[in-house]
A and B are shown apart, each in its own frame.
Chain A
Amino acid sequence: MIRAVDIKKSFDDVEVLKGISTVFEKGKTNLIIGRSGAGKTVFLKLLVSLMSPTDGDIWYDDVNITTLNKRELIDLRKDIGMLFQGSALFDSMTVEENIRFPLDMFTKKTKKEKQDRVDEMIEVVNLEGSNNKYPGEISGGMQKRVGIARSIVLNPKYLFCDEPNSGLDPKTSLVIDELIQKITRENKITTIINTHDMNSVMEIGEKINLLHQGRLAWVGNKDEVLESDNELLQNFIFASPFLQRLRKRAMNNK
């Protein structure tokens, strides 16, 4: 579980986050949604300690990470996996080498143990046959899957995904979403996803946090989205006229 307590973040005179408090639950896919400029990426970077908050605390279970020194942070980060928007795979390494990198860097496993773990990960993300391909030789969706495999290869307790569906077609997005949800449930990890993909919200939004202008505007789950009368939420989720018509029809059929 991760708890954010009254998180504030300013850049010079601009206050980007204005006191956000929320809980990201273990074994659930926790979503951070919001319009561009709402502060999602800054919030995610604070949560993974790539930035420090101006004020407030972030608790990883019983550990307040805002008080940790660099050494302690590095130790904590071994429990964190992160999927980046652009996958952030190492271009000079093959799929297999990318997934094996954290094992090479942080474990004392034998070569065979590492290979077994890599093969297991490749099977989990369904990338058999791509072991020796370079990131430039595979599709965006496959790159995301390699990114997921690399982020969970050390069995992290916390998984962060920054826009996992960006640049992907709806079908591939669904595959990625299902994969993240499956990993979250099977490994009982705390997963936090930063997204503006409405399909993701409605498919895997077990806990949704809507940010608006640096504040938490709504918290709920995917089932509560349709029924909520929060104007900001409705304006965000059903932004297109097509979705507005669908919602109207769904409400009329109830």
Chain B
Amino acid sequence: MILSIFYHLGRFVNLFRLMISKPEKFSMYWKETTRQMNDIGVGSLIIVGLIALFIGAVAAMQFAYQLEGTFVPLYYTGYVVRDMTIIELAPTITCLVLAGKVGSNIAAEIGGMRQKEQIDALEIMGVNTAAYLIAPKLIAALFVVPLLVAISAFISIMGGYLAVVPTGMITESEYVLGLRTFFVPYNVFMMFVKGFVFAFMLSAIPAYQGYYVKGGSIELGKASTNAVVFSDVAILLSDYVIALMLT
């Protein structure tokens, strides 16, 4: 078990060592990176938005309900939704969802290319496959995922507003007051740090799983599942480490 962890860790590091090289042609890498940005970013916008909207709405509703009949002011609803979203829910839930959607896609795409000998074909042409197939995905994820996290945080806060203000649970001024109370800009920084680190996890781990896949469709399915499971575990672990380090 421990040997296996070190084996995979070593191979993972070696793959990234191979990845760092001068591109054969910068324009080809840029084209692939923009394609990946579109796939990861635009392609995930709806699901991320939908989840953020409902998370914000439910969090606000539940909290406003809990505050009823207590001495805690109702405007705390906006404050709690804002901080909960920015510090934890937006980066973590968004990236866990993206690990499922984007991560499995990356593992299946690269793994499928391995099985269909497309990676061998690229190697024979003289392409550095580790760089060409992984670097654009990684760069795209590192750039796009933090943006998705920010969008998710915004939609989540809006979701909270839509759930409690039009329904009359609290007033608009109370919700907005809550949003503006005790605001710590450092939390936004932390959100972006998490988004950046999680982006690496959810793109690099699936890329590794896909790149070294061997066998047939069952192995490809396993690699895809492992990509999601390991990315999720890595995201949760790193979430804890970041929380320890930055708070």
Please report A residues at the B interface, Cβ cutoff 8 Å: 48, 50, 74-78, 80-82, 84-86, 88-91, 101-102, 104-106, 160
Chain A residues within 8 Å of B219, by CB: none
Number of A-B contacts (CB under 8 A): 48
Instruction: Quote the shortest CB–CB distance from A117 to chain B (angstroms).
Output: 15
C-alpha gap A104/B32 in the complex (Å): 13
6 other A-B residue contacts (CB within 8 Å) besides A50-B120, A77-B125, A102-B125:
A48-B124, A77-B126, A90-B118, A101-B125, A104-B25, A106-B24
Chain B residues within 8 Å of A105, by CB: 24-25, 28, 125, 127
C-alpha gap A184/B128 in the complex (Å): 27
User: Judging by beta carbons under 8 Å apart, are B128 and A77 in contact?
Assistant: no
C-alpha gap A249/B54 in the complex (Å): 81
Instruction: Quote the shortest CB–CB distance from A131 to chain B (angstroms).
Output: 19
Chain A contact surface mostly: mixed
Question: Whose C-beta in chain A lies nearest to the C-beta of B29?
Answer: A105
Pairs A–B under 8 Å by Cβ, sample size 11: A50-B124, A74-B126, A76-B126, A77-B125, A80-B124, A81-B124, A82-B120, A84-B117, A88-B117, A90-B118, A106-B25
| A104-B25, A105-B28 as given contacts; A86 in contact with B116, CB under 8 Å | yes
Chain A residues within 8 Å of B27, by CB: 104
Instruction: Quote the shortest CB–CB distance from B20 to chain A (angstroms).
Output: 13
Please report B residues at the A interface, Cβ cutoff 8 Å: 24-25, 27-28, 116-118, 120-121, 123-128
C-alpha gap A106/B117 in the complex (Å): 20
User: Judging by beta carbons under 8 Å apart, are A77 and B116 in contact?
Assistant: no
Instruction: Quote the shortest CB–CB distance from B44 to chain A (angstroms).
Output: 18
User: Judging by beta carbons under 8 Å apart, are B126 and A88 in contact?
Assistant: no
C-alpha gap A183/B28 in the complex (Å): 29
Chain B residues within 8 Å of A91, by CB: 116
Partner of A84, one of B24, B120, B128: B120
Chain A residues within 8 Å of B24, by CB: 105-106
User: Judging by beta carbons under 8 Å apart, are A88 and B120 in contact?
Assistant: yes
C-alpha gap A85/B121 in the complex (Å): 11
Question: Whose C-beta in chain B lies nearest to the C-beta of A81?
Answer: B124
| A74-B128, A106-B24 as given contacts; A50 in contact with B121, CB under 8 Å | no
C-alpha gap A27/B82 in the complex (Å): 72
Chain B residues within 8 Å of A50, by CB: 120, 123-124
C-alpha gap A80/B122 in the complex (Å): 11
